[in-house]
Chains A and B, each alone.
Chain A
Amino acid sequence: MLKTFKVGGVHPPENKLSADKKIEVLPIPKTVFIPVVQHIGAPSTAVVNKGDVVKTGQIIAKSSGFVSTNIHSSVSGKVKKIDLSPDSSGYPKLGIFIDVEGDHWMEEINRSEELVKEFDLDGPQIVQKIQESGIVGMGGATFPSHVKLVPPKGMKAEILLINGVECEPYLTSDHRLMMEKADEILVGTQLLMKAMNVEKAAIGIENNKPGAIQLLTGKAKHYKGISVVALKDKYPQGGEKQLIKAVTGREVPSGGLPIAVGAVVSNVGTVFAVYEAIQKNKPLFERVVTVTGKEVKNPSNFKVRIGTATSELIEAAGGLPENTGKIISGGPMMGRAIISPDVPVTKGTSGILIIPETEAKRKPYRECIRCSRCVSVCPMGLEPFLLMTLGQKQIFDRAENERIMNCIECGSCSYTCPSYRPILDYIRFGKAKVGAIIRTRKK
């Protein structure tokens, strides 16, 4: 029996159209727009001015606190302006526009493809390097990675979990990275183990990627303490709490962090970035992005410089289809619909999904028939139908008692509702309100 998390979950059609497409390097665009907030936490502070000449890999915005991170230029050229422009959230964000001139990298970056296995840094040095290199959770959460590696007082990490689940339909960037950079990921895993001072690491991969499971299982034998765990495919197994439950059997307590059960989770993309930062001295300024969709001519996986406009990626995948109705940054279950193809790729962009007009709009919703499917698919053991009503009717104290804050917003409830009810929309509304109430109470 393959391992998986126990409660809830759904099986949306996989549609992994680009699973066999090798990662291609996308040509460097003419200009980039690099927002100074690409992570959860305090915005970074720009340290360049209009007219400055920058090199690829140079710091252009500095971390402004512990939960914040550095941002590096992904290209070489001249800073055109520092201005507001919408990112994938749709809101205008402060960012740095750079006109590209050539591709001159910082001298200290090792640009060879050669695998470097040995390292002699100690834990704190690794954490510091990760912090300097601007690494954030690349599965989409974009939480600064160095913060996770330093456990709060009195807590100790026992196991490192590497998230190779990629349970979102369509997306294949993590899958391709595992297929093409397996050794690098394993070295990166060892670096993180050293940084956290743990003896054990497990890489969780869903059973729909047998190639990656086989490859990594074979290679992991040569790395001490790393095992590969094949998981039964089920959405949202890539959720941190679900992955921990699936691999270790432990449940992160409600309201708590993974470290409360001795676990720290990192996405394979993040682990690869850690490898590059430490073994190649290369900060995070490019990432793998899947460009896909049923109508897309050549669904692809691209290695993209941060700040590249989404439209450049779509062009490279065969152009925007005539009947496009929606463009999503991320996967179809948790991704964000973007307002225009001009928004930039950021550190958290795992994919660009193009949805045709016919599937872009939701169907009108009807009364709840109380079928309880939302309850049975909820991976957090909540009652989405009830939380929706409590959100709608603004009964926030009861919503809090019914654990609305435990919702991980995976969308399984809305996905499965036979009356097409916008369950998660109202839960999000309720969460925002209840969250605000809790914050005022703490003051």
Chain B
Amino acid sequence: MSNLLTISPSPHIHSGDSARKIMFRVVYALIPALLWSVFVFGPDALRVTLIAVVACLAFEYVIQKYLMKIKPVITDGSALVTGILLAFNMPANLPWWIIVIGALASIGIGKLSFGGLGSNIFNPALVGRAFLLISFPVQMTSWPVNNRSGIDAVTSATPLGIIKEGIANGTPVSEILKSLPSTVEMLFGENGGSLGEISAILLILGGLYMLFTKVITWHIPVSIIVTVGIVASAFWLVNPEVYISPAYHLLTGGLMLGAIFMATDMVTSPMNPKAQMIYGVGIGLITISIRLFGAYPEGISFAILIMNAVVPLLNRYIKPKRFGEIKKQPIKA
């Protein structure tokens, strides 16, 4: 025994879980969807992911060391998660330099300009995506066709883009859908689009893993999905020739990726279940509004960024139910 005993206040034990372990659980949850995108888009998917991850880690290191002059902490896994999520929001054929610019926007503007992990208001990966979508609209919306038969040189829009254009031209929805994959096909990953949005089922699988390992709670994803589902159903029931089915809405346009992985980002989402559900409903409403009435065919990433900005307000005014502040006491014993 050393001469001196350690004196510290309670508690004297710790659960042993750390921020790093949580980040790596997110990475594990993303792996099935990543593998599927490599299977669908070939080595290009891996190329995009690797460039995004390496660029994010490099910017994190360089900015922390030379601009912020603090000890770089790139091993905490947060930049790794940002890198993968950024890649998930990109088409597989995106040129490398655009990816690097996206990484700089994510890490530099989205995260470190606010002070780093824990201080940022907006989801860093979505800041990168929004930056690129506005700066390089053509490259960001020309996806390689989801065609596993061979090398594909042909690019196309996502199903939602095709539908939006079709509806604008006055084509009935039933006609447009004939040329697109069925709902079931999209559930299992026959969707076109960015790396990470093509297989709803694998994203849900990752989400369940995060739910069971307590990285996320059900409140945010469920409230987004239910909101989008209800509003989409209402419009669809009114006129199925102009509005697509709720199932189609839920399985396309990165909705699952956004609801499960982006909106649940710990740093940029509210701190208690009640506020989380308001946040989720808000994301759902804004997403479906952009999709039905806005210029963009897809809306979830902007919806999340908008609601990110509301989070400090939600945290300030929506409080958890305090113990001992109920009016009526149940009488039983």
Chain A residues in contact with chain B, CB under 8 A? 7, 10, 12, 90, 158-159, 169, 200, 202, 241, 245, 247-256, 261, 320-328, 330, 332-340, 353, 355, 357, 359-363, 366-373, 375-376, 378-383, 385-386, 402-403, 406, 409, 411-412, 414-420, 422, 424-425, 428
Contact = CB atoms under 8 A, between A and B. Distances in A.
Nearest to B120: A370
B323 interface: yes
B35 to A, nearest CB: 27
Interface in B90-129: 116-119
Contact of A406 (B19, B217, B323): B323
A296 to B, nearest CB: 13
A418 B1 contact: no
B117 A337 contact: no
Contacts of A252: 324
14 contacts: A169-B13, A200-B333, A248-B332, A253-B324, A322-B1, A332-B11, A333-B12, A337-B12, A369-B22, A370-B269, A375-B320, A376-B272, A403-B322, A419-B118
A353 B142 CA distance: 64
Interface in B1-33: 1-2, 5-15, 17-19, 21-22
A143 B186 CA distance: 65
B321 interface: yes
Contact of B322 (A254, A359, A371, A409): A254
Nearest to B12: A332
Contacts of B319: 383, 402
Contact of B117 (A241, A248, A336, A369): A369
Contacts of B118: 367-370, 419
Interface residues of B, number: 48
B272 A375 contact: yes
Contact of A324 (B5, B19, B315): B5
B14 A375 contact: no
Question: Interface on chain A toward B: helix, strand, loop, or mixed SS?
Answer: loop
A420 B16 CA distance: 9
A322 B2 CA distance: 8
B179 interface: no
B19 A419 contact: yes
A415 B329 contact: no
Among B5, B21, B266, B330: residue with most chain A CB under 10 A: B5
Interface string B303-333: 0000000000001000111111110011011
A255 B323 CA distance: 10
A381 B11 CA distance: 19
B133 interface: no
Given A256-B324, A379-B323, A332 B272 contact: no
A345 B19 CA distance: 39
Contact of B13 (A12, A253, A371, A383): A12
B272 A383 contact: yes
Contact of A332 (B2, B13, B76, B333): B13
B19 A333 contact: no
Contacts of B271: 370, 372, 375, 383, 385-386
B267 interface: yes
Contacts of B333: 158-159, 200, 202, 247-249
Given A370-B269, A382-B320, 5 more contacts: A200-B333, A252-B324, A254-B325, A353-B12, A403-B322
A157 B330 CA distance: 16
A250 to B, nearest CB: 5
A414 B10 CA distance: 9
Contacts of B272: 372, 375-376, 383
Contacts of A253: 324-325
Contacts of B329: 250-251, 261
Contacts of B323: 7, 241, 245, 251, 254, 379-381, 406
A369 B5 contact: no
Contacts of A373: 214
Interface string B235-249: 000000000000000
A366 B5 CA distance: 25
Nearest to B273: A376
B117 A361 contact: no
A158 B333 CA distance: 9
Contacts of B8: 326, 337, 361-362
A333 B14 contact: no
Contact of B326 (A251, A417, A424): A251
Contacts of B1: 320-325
Nearest to B116: A367
Contact of A337 (B5, B18, B330, B332): B5
Interface in B226-267: 266-267
A414 B15 CA distance: 9
Nearest to B331: A250
B217 A411 contact: no
Contacts of B2: 325, 357
A339 B5 contact: yes
Contacts of A375: 271-272, 320
Contacts of B12: 326, 328, 332-333, 335, 337, 353, 355
Interface in B146-176: none
Contacts of B6: 325-326, 337, 360-361
Among A371, A379, A383: residue with most chain B CB under 10 A: A371
